[in-house]
């Protein structure tokens, strides 16, 4: 099973990379394209169908400003859709956050937080979804969590040493 990712503009590429790095770490295949809910609506619709035919089980849509990409993707697919709002607009990303999260009842989007950590969390959330039907992946996730605990402990010890 693959993950399909869309970014609304070339300017979102730096955010996309955060998600791709997570998939590389977990050995998950993905497809990605630049397409916009507003600038290329027909292309967006066609790509959703193409990605589904190619085995995409979860979609991630990354967009800024009036960020309708995730919502539009959700309107064309029954696969789960995760939205990542992008900051940096004149409104500081609040526009993208609200556009992504405030979906009308009936067409859900799982909205993450803004920007790079939102993209990394979107990828991890996709791993959690895929892990429901893939034992090896679920074990990898468990290993990832254990490593995180170790890194928190190490940070605590390091800072205590430095401040002693
Ligand atoms: C959105 O508008 C894109 O997702 C991007 O985050 C934002 C700005 O796009 P550009 O003007 O940089 O192409 O559609």
Tell me: the pLDDT tens digits for 81-99?
999 999 999 999 999 999 9
Ligand 1, CB cutoff 6 Å, lining residues: 8-9, 11-12, 36, 63-65, 86
Is-contact 87 115, C-beta < 8 A? yes
Residue among 5, 7, 8, 67 to mutate when testing ligand 1 (max atoms within 8 A of CB) = 8
Q: What is the pLDDT of residue 92?
A: 96
Distance CA 3, CA 17 (A): 14
Q: What is the pLDDT of residue 49?
A: 98
Distance CA 5, CA 17 (A): 11
Tell me how far the alpha carbon of residue 88 lies from the centroid of ligand 1, in angstroms: 10
User: With bands split at pLDDT 50, 70 and 90, how would you rate the model's confidence at 70?
Assistant: very high
Q: Parse the chain into domains and list their residue ranges.
A: 2-133, 137-164
Average pLDDT, the chain: 98
The partner residues of 62 in beta bridges, in order of sequence, read 7, 84
Q: What is the pLDDT of residue 129?
A: 98
Nearest CA to ligand 1 atom 9: 9
CATH fold of 2-133: Rossmann fold (3.40.50)
Tell me: the pLDDT tens digits for 3-48?
999 999 999 999 999 999 999 999 999 999 999 999 999 999 999 9
3-state secondary structure the chain: CEEEEEECCHHHHHHHHHHHHHHHHHCCCEEEEECCCCCCHHHHHHHHHHHHHCCEEEEEEEEECCCCHHHHHHHHCCCCEEEEEECCCCCCCHHHHHHHHCCCCCCCCEECCCHHHHHHHHHHHHHHHHHCCCHHHHHHHHHHHHHHHHHHHHHHHHHHHHHC
Tell me how far the alpha carbon of residue 74 lies from the centroid of ligand 1, in angstroms: 19
By the 10 Å C-beta count (0-12 exposed, 13-18 middle, 19+ buried), 45 is classed as middle
Q: What is the pLDDT of residue 159?
A: 98
Tell me: the pLDDT tens digits for 100-131?
999 999 999 999 999 999 999 999 999 999 99
């Amino acid at each position: 099973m693959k993950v399909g990712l869309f970014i609304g503009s070339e300017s979102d590429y730096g955010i996309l990379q955060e998600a791709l790095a997570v998939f590389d770490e977990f050995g998950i295949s993905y497809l990605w394209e630049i397409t916009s809910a507003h600038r290329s609506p027909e292309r967006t619709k066609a790509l959703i169908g193409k990605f589904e035919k190619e085995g995409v089980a979860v979609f991630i849509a990354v967009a800024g400003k009036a960020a309708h990409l995730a919502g539009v993707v959700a309107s064309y697919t029954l696969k789960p859709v995760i939205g990542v709002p992008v900051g940096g607009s004149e409104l500081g990303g609040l526009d993208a956050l609200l556009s992504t999260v405030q979906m009308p009842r009936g067409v859900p989007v799982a909205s993450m937080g803004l920007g790079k950590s939102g993209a990394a969390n979107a990828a991890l959330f996709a791993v959690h979804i895929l892990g429901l039907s893939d034992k090896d992946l679920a074990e990898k996730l468990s290993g990832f969590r254990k490593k995180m605990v170790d890194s928190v402990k190490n940070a605590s010890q390091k800072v205590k040493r430095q401040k002693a």
